[in-house]
């Protein structure tokens, strides 16, 4: 367990907090490019790391991310006119470009714009965070303004393949970002929460159709042994299960600093998946999910893993398009699921008795129900951890040590200046019992362009 002080360190992300300052050293993916499609179109309210912001696309097609309140008198720039390469506050007409420069103060008389009480337009600055777009994702850098050149984007394979190779899905989770991140790197819960009562029969049918034996091994061995390894980019977490008499089945999950997770795949030509757990604030998280194929497009008919359905009419890894509440103009108001705490996540008690272990309708509702039911910020001083939590313990330690090193020594956090370190994959392999996973799965754990290794 953590102490109350350690829990505060881990979970609080606002400006000036140790973890908040750590997270600000990294780029934040905060929208899909398609969510901000129109030049000079309507702005969007955004909230990241506790800061209320406004996103817009200017006349040249560039994405901007500004502080919400106009520096003149504080009116919200959400109501601003997006025109002629800037966002103009409707209160007095002050206009700001994507780098935060005030380019016009039309309510000020020309003779007064240079006086002490009326600074020239080009001397007024609005909070502005640099944005980059790659692979259909808009990223923002909220770190220190000096040096003025942000670090490079991390070389994450899902964000570097062609856009038609990757499916992206967003949703809001109503709890702290660490709770959802820890849920994804916890391999042992899948043997319970995500199972069906007749799973053995389902797996046998799947094997007859050429499916993965990994599902069989995972079903038979529900108490994996864990090993962890600190890496240049984060932590590799290996779950070992019994396979055949002389072999082990290894599922290797990747935690990449500070909030990226990669889920082990299945099959001979696998689709890979994972998430970015972007803190909206201390109590809300943007789940930025991705599914991708390293070498070919994802046709619509093959996107079951990405589009939300598992073939049985329940939710898959990512939300299906029709699962959201009517959109609102609040930050990420278009990504609030209708399956939520207010309706007990649509649990079906008959299905719990007869069909699904949890009775909850699919993968992400199952995860959300457990993670959100802990409370907005779980008090980890009350938990009792076991051997199966070793990956979570290691990831927490990596984050807290990095936050302390940044605050106390000014140390550059892991991976910030090493984009190539992120060229990795999760993996699922069967190895002889005499072969260690770090050697036996080394090749499968590398994101090699043009190559897709089979998974067990």
| Rounded CA separation 328/97 (Å) | 26
Count, residues in the chain? 456
CATH number belonging to the domain at 157-440, selected among 3.40.630, 1.10.3470, 2.60.40, 3.90.380:
3.90.380
Tell me the helix, strand and coil percentages in the chain, rounded to 5: 30, 25, 45
pLDDT of residue 201: 67
> Of 13, 18, 23, nearest to 260 (Cα)?
23
Give the other-Cβ count within 10 Å of 93's Cβ.
15
Q: CA distances (Å), 205 to each of 216, 338, 342, 363, in order? A: 11, 33, 37, 21
pLDDT of residue 119: 60
pLDDT of residue 306: 46
pLDDT of residue 287: 97
The pTM score is 0.94
Cα dihedral 175/178/183/187 (nearest 10): 180
Q: Count the helices and strands in the chain (H runs, E runs).
A: 10, 18
Q: In order along the chain (456 residues), what is the average pLDDT of each group of 10 residues?
A: 95 98 98 96 98 98 98 97 96 96 91 53 87 98 83 98 94 98 94 84 60 80 93 97 94 98 93 96 97 89 50 74 93 97 96 93 95 97 94 97 98 97 98 97 96 93
User: Does the domain spanning 27-141 belong to CATH 3.40.50.170?
Assistant: no
pLDDT of residue 148: 73
**b/e map 323-351, b = 16+ CB within 10 Å:** bbeeeeeebbebbbbebbeeeebbbeeeb
Give the HSE-up count for residue 451: Cα atoms under 13 Å, Cβ half-sphere: 11
CA 198 to chain centre: 32
Q: Is the peptide bond before 147 cis (omega within 30 degrees of 0)?
A: yes
pLDDT of residue 209: 55
Q: In the chain, where are the structural domains located?
A: 27-141, 157-440
Angle at 259 between CA 359 and CA 192, to 5 degrees: 25
pLDDT of residue 206: 58
| Rounded CA separation 284/376 (Å) | 8
Phi and psi angles of residue 33, each rounded to the nearest 5 degrees, phi first:
-60, -35
| Rounded CA separation 129/47 (Å) | 13
Q: CA distances (Å), 121 to each of 91, 101, 193, 211, 260, in order? A: 16, 8, 57, 64, 40
27-141 and 157-440, same CATH topology: no
| Own/partner long-range contacts of 30-34 (Cβ < 8 Å, ≥24 apart) | 30/55, 30/65, 30/138, 30/139, 30/140, 30/278, 30/286, 31/55, 31/63, 31/137, 31/138, 31/170, 32/136, 32/137, 32/138, 32/168, 32/170, 33/63, 33/133, 33/136, 33/137, 33/138, 34/136
């Amino acid at each position: 367990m953590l102490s109350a002080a350690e829990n505060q360190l881990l979970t609080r992300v606002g400006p000036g907090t140790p973890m908040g300052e750590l997270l600000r050293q990294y780029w934040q993916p905060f929208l899909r490019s398609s969510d901000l499609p129109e030049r000079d179109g309507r702005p969007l309210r955004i909230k990241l790391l506790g800061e209320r912001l406004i996103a817009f696309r200017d006349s040249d097609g560039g994405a901007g991310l500004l502080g919400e309140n106009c520096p003149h008198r504080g009116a919200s720039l959400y109501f601003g006119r997006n025109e002629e390469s800037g966002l103009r506050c409707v209160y007095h007409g002050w206009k700001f470009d994507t780098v935060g420069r005030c380019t016009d103060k039309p309510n000020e008389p020309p003779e007064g714009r240079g006086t002490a009480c009326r600074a020239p337009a080009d001397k007024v600055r609005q909070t502005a965070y640099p944005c980059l777009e790659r692979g259909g994702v808009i990223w923002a850098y909220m770190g220190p303004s000096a040096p003025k050149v942000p670090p490079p984007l991390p070389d994450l394979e899902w964000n570097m393949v062609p856009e038609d190779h990757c499916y992206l899905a967003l949703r809001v989770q109503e709890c702290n970002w660490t709770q959802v991140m820890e849920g994804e790197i916890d391999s042992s819960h899948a043997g319970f929460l995500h199972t069906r009562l007749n799973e053995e029969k389902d797996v046998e049918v799947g094997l007859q159709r050429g499916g993965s034996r990994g599902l069989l091994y995972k079903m038979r061995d529900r108490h994996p042994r864990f090993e962890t390894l600190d890496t240049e980019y984060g932590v590799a977490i290996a779950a070992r299960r019994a396979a055949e008499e002389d072999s082990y089945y290894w599922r290797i999950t990747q935690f990449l600093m500070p909030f990226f997770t990669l889920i082990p795949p299945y099959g001979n030509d696998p689709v890979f998946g994972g998430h970015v757990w972007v803190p909206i604030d201390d109590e809300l998280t943007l789940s930025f999910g991705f599914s991708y194929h390293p070498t070919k497009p994802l046709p619509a008919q093959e996107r079951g893993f990405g589009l939300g359905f598992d073939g049985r009419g329940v939710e898959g890894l990512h939300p299906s398009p029709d699962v959201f509440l009517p959109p609102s103009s609040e930050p990420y108001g278009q990504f609030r699921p209708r399956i939520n705490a207010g309706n007990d996540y649509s649990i079906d008690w008959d299905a719990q008795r007869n069909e699904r272990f949890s009775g909850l309708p699919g993968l992400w509702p199952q995860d959300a129900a457990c993670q959100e039911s802990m409370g907005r910020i779980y008090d980890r001083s009350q938990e009792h951890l076991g051997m199966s939590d070793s990956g979570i313990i290691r990831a927490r330690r990596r984050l807290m040590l990095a936050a302390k090193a940044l605050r106390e020594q000014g140390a550059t956090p892991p991976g910030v200046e090493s984009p190539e370190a992120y060229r990795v994959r999760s993996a699922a392999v069967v190895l002889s019992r005499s072969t260690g996973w770090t050697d036996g799965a080394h090749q499968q754990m590398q994101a090699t362009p043009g190559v897709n290794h089979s998974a067990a």
